[in-house]
């Protein structure tokens, strides 16, 4: 029973960490990466769909993304959706290929993005601590119902705390890595 609580807590904490990784992938550094366009939605036959569902997104070089819509009429809609996004990029269209040059980040923008990354990391830490609180609550309810002894409860809470500390360390390491990649010119 205690092992199940610990495993569940570990899995939920891991999901919080993976969510942070995907959020960090959306914060753009100076390099071109297709995941930067994941948040762009394109109007397609009356509904908004992710860009990846109407076009092929690729990397031409370190500072240029290419977007090739699958249908010719979608070129203008895709270009407009990219311009309307808050990415701060200007697409160039040639025929049915859209090139998106990634401008180098200014020092001000780098600091801004670092603050965003820190906020995302803090949200992940809070989520991990919430999982710890839930797991400890489950342990306390087992103790209250006399299903486990106080020693077992204390041992299980220590195990949950070790898992929490480990995951917070991973979050901090990921944040440090993202900050250094954002600040490198």
Cα-Cα-Cα-Cα dihedral sign, residues 89, 91, 97, 102: negative
In this predicted structure, what is the pLDDT of residue 164?
93
Q: Are residues 173 and 114 part of one domain?
A: yes
Query: Residue 112's domain is classified under what CATH number?
Result: 1.10.132.20
According to DSSP, the residues that pair with 68 across neighbouring strands are 56
Measuring CA to CA, which residue among 162, 136, 167 is closest to residue 5?
Answer: 136
Q: Quick check: 91 and 99 in contact, CB under 8 A?
A: yes
Q: Are residues 155 and 135 part of one domain?
A: yes
Q: 44-50 long-range CB contacts below 8 Å, 24 or more apart?
A: 44/74, 44/77
| Domain-terminating residue out of 82, 101, 120 | 101
Query: Residue 63's domain is classified under what CATH number?
Result: 3.30.1360.40
Q: Are residues 148 and 110 part of one domain?
A: yes
In this predicted structure, what is the pLDDT of residue 29?
65
Q: Are residues 13 and 50 part of one domain?
A: no
Q: Please state the domain count of the chain.
A: 2
CA distance 78 to 68: 9
At 26, list the tokens.
Answer: 């959306």
Q: Label the pairing between strands 55-61 and 92-94.
A: unpaired
| Domain-terminating residue out of 57, 83, 101 | 101
Structural domain including 56 reads: 34-101
List the beta strands (DSSP E) in 14-87. Answer: 41-44, 47-50, 55-61, 64-69
Q: Are residues 111 and 22 part of one domain?
A: yes
| Domain-terminating residue out of 50, 67, 101 | 101
Q: Are residues 178 and 121 part of one domain?
A: yes
Q: Are residues 96 and 42 part of one domain?
A: yes
In this predicted structure, what is the pLDDT of residue 127?
94
Q: Are residues 150 and 113 part of one domain?
A: yes
Judge if pTM exceeds 0.75: no
In this predicted structure, what is the pLDDT of residue 76?
86
CA distance 137 to 155: 14
| Low-confidence spans in the chain with pLDDT less than 70 | 28-31, 185
């Amino acid at each position: 029973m205690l092992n199940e609580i610990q495993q569940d807590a570990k899995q939920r904490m891991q999901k919080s960490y993976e969510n942070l990784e995907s959020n960090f992938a959306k914060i753009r550094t100076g390099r071109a990466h297709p995941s930067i366009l994941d948040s762009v939605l394109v109007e397609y036959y009356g509904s908004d769909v992710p860009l990846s569902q109407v076009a092929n997104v690729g990397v031409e070089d370190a500072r240029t993304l290419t977007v090739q819509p699958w249908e010719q009429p979608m070129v203008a809609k895709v270009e407009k959706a990219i311009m309307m996004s808050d990415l701060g990029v200007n697409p160039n269209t040639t025929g049915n290929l859209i090139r998106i040059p990634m401008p180098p980040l200014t020092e001000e923008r780098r600091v801004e993005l670092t603050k965003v990354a820190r906020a995302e990391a803090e949200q992940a830490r809070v989520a991990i601590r919430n999982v710890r609180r839930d797991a400890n609550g489950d342990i306390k309810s087992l103790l209250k119902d006399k299903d486990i002894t106080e020693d077992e409860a204390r041992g299980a809470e220590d195990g949950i705390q070790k898992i929490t500390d480990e995951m917070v360390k991973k979050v901090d390491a990921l944040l440090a890595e993202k900050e250094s990649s954002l600040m490198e010119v």
